[in-house]
Amino acid sequence: MYSALFLSLLSAIAVAAQKGDWTAAYDSATGALAQLTNDQKVGIVTGTGWMNGNCVGNTGDAPNIGFRSLCLQDGPLGVRTATGVTAFPAGIHAASTWDVELIRQRGLAMGEEFRALGVNVQLGPVAGAIGKIPAAGRNWEAFGPDPYFTGIAMQETIIGIQEAGVQACAKHYILNEQELNRGSMSSSVDDRAMHELYLWPFADSVKANVASIMCSYNRIDGVYACENDAVLNSLLKDELSFPGYVLTDWGAQHSNENSANAGLDMAMPGDGMGDGNYYWGPNLLNAVDSGSVPQERLDDMVKRILASWYYIGQDKDYPEVGFDNWQPGTGKDVQGDHATVARAIARDGIVLLKNVDNALPLNKPATLAIIGSDAFPNPDGPNACVDRGCNVGTLAMGWGSGTVEFPYLIAPHDAIKERADADGTVLTTSPNDETASATAAATAAETAIVFINADSGEEYITVEGNAGDRNDLNAWHNGNELVQAVAEVNAKTIVVIHSVGQILLESFIELENVVAVVWAGLPGQESGNGLVDILYGDTAPNGKLPYTIGKTAEDHGTAIVPGDDSYPEGLFIDYRHYDKNEIEPRFEFGFGLSYTTFDYTELTATYTDKSPGEGSPAPGGPTSLYDEVATVTATITNNGTVTGAEVAQLYIGLPESAPETPVRQLRGFQKVSLEAGASAPVSFSLRRKDLSYWDTEAQAWVTPTGEFKVYVGASSRDIRLTGTM
């Protein structure tokens, strides 16, 4: 008795020591590795083949070390294909909350659902495409084109997912910025932009101990990402000291020895998407036998996979896989109370762009018109099209592998109707996008809300002529004409937009009768409920744009590239491009109105670094890069009349001794909720890397000497406090 108890206590301590501790996890992995044959090792690093296993990706097992076949499953906003899961707001919508607490809660809630269904690896979150090209099809899966912001969002999401006991997978690594030709095109970027823009959020992911990273379909400097020594070995494993494993995007492997020696650790789905041809499997075994792939390299792959599994604590009591990816409709209810966080994000991710004379919030209007197909449910149900590959009815996520089955989708009309019934408001409706029926409905009402949208997704599905990437930045379904027609006849026209990303607003934004514009993003299953919270003022709008909305498509300075992409814009995407070239955007990065106003006072900026040390290598790069070296503080006052939340933003301009750098770069943000009349301090902590640039000659981060410019404000252009440091 005594000794059994003692032993189980010891093993509990051993488990605790492995979980959350890379050194202990590697010790366990090394011990387990010694018990594996090369056959078993090759089985662990090679997927079992397309559709061979319950999940979208499956590995071999090793029962003698208690290692079950790993289940890898899409995607970044929930468990793909299974029923009984939550359809969370998309990454870009979580981003527009600018709320790190909500972003972490979303990660945790997603992780709990993956775990309950027995998934070992969630294929998300996404930092690439980061969104340098507004029309790119999959930007909505990620967190927007600012690397600092995306880094924080990746970190919080990964911490949440992994706290639930699920391995996160940061993807798609790297320079995978569009869908067109993604499997063949080559991207090249200068070394500074690579470090300061594209690699940056992956560095934060590694710092947050992400278990795995997915290499992308494209080539970098002519070499496929999944066999690219420079990006896998040099940048990720050497420079960032990534201790986890690299897996391929599905079918992104193109070689046996080259990929193995360049740093790939796991091939997915194993064969070429069902063709039965495996680059690895027996071929990798032969390569190891012949010496063209060193035995140590195979052992390193396995150690990385096992160490991540121990690190997350999946070696003990992991749930069985509870669904079959290839049998639609399988699964079980794992939603718990996650609708609460889904609704909070749906609500707080909404950005108010225009509001003339307090047109919003609505105050029990006598009559109200609801116009546009985007306000109404898809008559065939929210999951009518496979992988959401159509744009019918209200839009709440894009299309492709980054989707889930909706358990339900609250359409705006349905949620508004509930409120209208309670208020005694008479609704007139036009559930299509035809101008004749729209003007009829709008003429009959005091206020008209017109809904428009724009969709995009992954390249394997074409929707209304858009092969993943959008063909242009206009609203779909003649949205511009629809708004104009309504505004012709209704003096209180409110526009609500559901969109995967930036659209052009110029054809209606300045119309006098367009009194309010609400950017409702991609809100997931709680769409209508979150919108009603904002439209009726139960919550003041508190989201901010995670990208810049320009006046023309050309103003953005980037577009889908027909061949290879040499990234001529370098560091200057989104607001950095607008600032550098002094282009007036329509709505800048970080912009968003409220029903109240905020005053900014009392800026302080203090450089506190005392010991600019080298730091030791650690996940994410030298520890010194993450040391806190400066603090900026300010005071925010709600000087309006209702409770509201403000996202205070810190931008830094580097000293003149630095090479050409964006005028201002986001380096901090904090959301504070304040009652009318209340004040609160905000404090931004700057890490060494936040004040540094990548010195291409020295191949190191350098903190320039001289005067740093410090800007605190309500957006990237609405700067309220300026100082130096």
Active site residues: 249
How many angstroms separate the CA atoms of 294 and 349, rounded? 50
CA 69 to centroid of chain Cα atoms: 28
Write a three-state SS string for 378-438.
CCCCCCCCHHHCCCCCCCCCCECCCCCCCCCCCCHHHHHHHHHHHHCCEEEEECCCCHHHH
When the beta carbons of 637 and 670 are compared against ligand NAG, the nearer one is 637
What dihedral angle (degrees, nearest 10) is formed by the CA atoms of 457, 459, 462, 463?
10
How many angstroms separate the CA atoms of 404 and 719, rounded? 39
- Beta carbon of residue 639, minimum distance to ligand NAG (angstroms, whole number): 4
When the beta carbons of 380 and 599 are compared against ligand NAG, the nearer one is 599
When the beta carbons of 186 and 597 are compared against ligand NAG, the nearer one is 597
DSSP sequence for 136-194: -TTGGGS--S-HHHHHHHHHHHHHHHHHTT-EEEEEEES----STTTTT-EE---HHHI
Please tell me whether residue 343 adopts helix, strand or coil conformation. helix
Please tell me whether residue 686 adopts helix, strand or coil conformation. strand
Strands (E) located in 455-596: 493-499, 514-521
Handedness of CA 689, 692, 695, 696 (dihedral sign): positive
When the beta carbons of 428 and 597 are compared against ligand NAG, the nearer one is 597
- Beta carbon of residue 231, minimum distance to ligand NAG (angstroms, whole number): 45
Which residues in the 623-642 window bind ligand NAG by CB under 6 A?
639
**Helix axis angle, 479-489 to 435-443, nearest 10°:** 30
Q: Which of 688, 398, 421, 666 minimizes the C-alpha distance to 532?
A: 421
- Please answer whether residues 126 and 91 qualify as being in contact, where contact means their C-beta atoms are separated by less than 8 angstroms: yes
What dihedral angle (degrees, nearest 10) is formed by the CA atoms of 406, 412, 413, 415?
90
When the beta carbons of 507 and 673 are compared against ligand NAG, the nearer one is 673
Q: Which of 352, 394, 417, 243 minimizes the C-alpha distance to 714?
A: 352
Cα-flanking dihedrals φ and ψ of residue 168, to 5°? -85, 160
- The residues near 320 (Cβ < 8 Å, ≥ 6 apart) are 118
Please tell me whether residue 626 adopts helix, strand or coil conformation. helix
Near ligand NAG by CB under 6 A: residue from 233, 428, 478, 597: 597
When the beta carbons of 597 and 623 are compared against ligand NAG, the nearer one is 597
- Beta carbon of residue 534, minimum distance to ligand NAG (angstroms, whole number): 21
- Please answer whether residues 456 and 135 qualify as being in contact, where contact means their C-beta atoms are separated by less than 8 angstroms: yes
- Please answer whether residues 348 and 543 qualify as being in contact, where contact means their C-beta atoms are separated by less than 8 angstroms: yes
Other CB atoms within a 10 A radius of the CB of residue 464 amount to: 11
- Beta carbon of residue 714, minimum distance to ligand NAG (angstroms, whole number): 9
- Beta carbon of residue 640, minimum distance to ligand NAG (angstroms, whole number): 6
- Beta carbon of residue 599, minimum distance to ligand NAG (angstroms, whole number): 4
Cα-flanking dihedrals φ and ψ of residue 488, to 5°? -60, -35
When the beta carbons of 370 and 636 are compared against ligand NAG, the nearer one is 636
- Beta carbon of residue 719, minimum distance to ligand NAG (angstroms, whole number): 12
Distances (CA, A) of 373 to 352, 379, 431: 21, 10, 5
- Beta carbon of residue 600, minimum distance to ligand NAG (angstroms, whole number): 7
Which residues in the 101-140 window bind ligand NAG by CB under 6 A?
none
User: Left if phi > 0, otherwise alpha if psi is -120 to 50, otherwise beta: which for 78?
Assistant: left
- Beta carbon of residue 598, minimum distance to ligand NAG (angstroms, whole number): 7
Q: How many residues line the site for ligand NAG (CB under 6 A)?
A: 3
Structure letter (DSSP) for residue 621: S
Structure letter (DSSP) for residue 538: S
How many angstroms separate the CA atoms of 243 and 305, rounded? 9
Which helix (H) or strand (E) segment is 454 a member of? strand 447-454
When the beta carbons of 597 and 631 are compared against ligand NAG, the nearer one is 597
- Beta carbon of residue 352, minimum distance to ligand NAG (angstroms, whole number): 17
When the beta carbons of 351 and 714 are compared against ligand NAG, the nearer one is 714
Asked if 599 interacts with ligand NAG (CB under 6 A), we say yes
- Please answer whether residues 126 and 144 qualify as being in contact, where contact means their C-beta atoms are separated by less than 8 angstroms: no
When the beta carbons of 39 and 599 are compared against ligand NAG, the nearer one is 599
How many angstroms separate the CA atoms of 305 and 72, rounded? 13
- Beta carbon of residue 593, minimum distance to ligand NAG (angstroms, whole number): 13
Structure letter (DSSP) for residue 633: E
When the beta carbons of 599 and 656 are compared against ligand NAG, the nearer one is 599
When the beta carbons of 47 and 592 are compared against ligand NAG, the nearer one is 592
When the beta carbons of 620 and 644 are compared against ligand NAG, the nearer one is 644
Cα-flanking dihedrals φ and ψ of residue 377, to 5°? -70, 150
- Please answer whether residues 632 and 604 qualify as being in contact, where contact means their C-beta atoms are separated by less than 8 angstroms: yes
- Beta carbon of residue 651, minimum distance to ligand NAG (angstroms, whole number): 18
Cα-flanking dihedrals φ and ψ of residue 218, to 5°? -75, 170
| H helix count then E strand count, the chain | 18, 24
- Spell 105-116 as b/e; 16+ CB within 10 A means b: bbbbbbbbbbbb
- Beta carbon of residue 681, minimum distance to ligand NAG (angstroms, whole number): 17
Q: Which parts of this chain interact with ligand NAG (CB under 6 A)?
A: 597, 599, 639
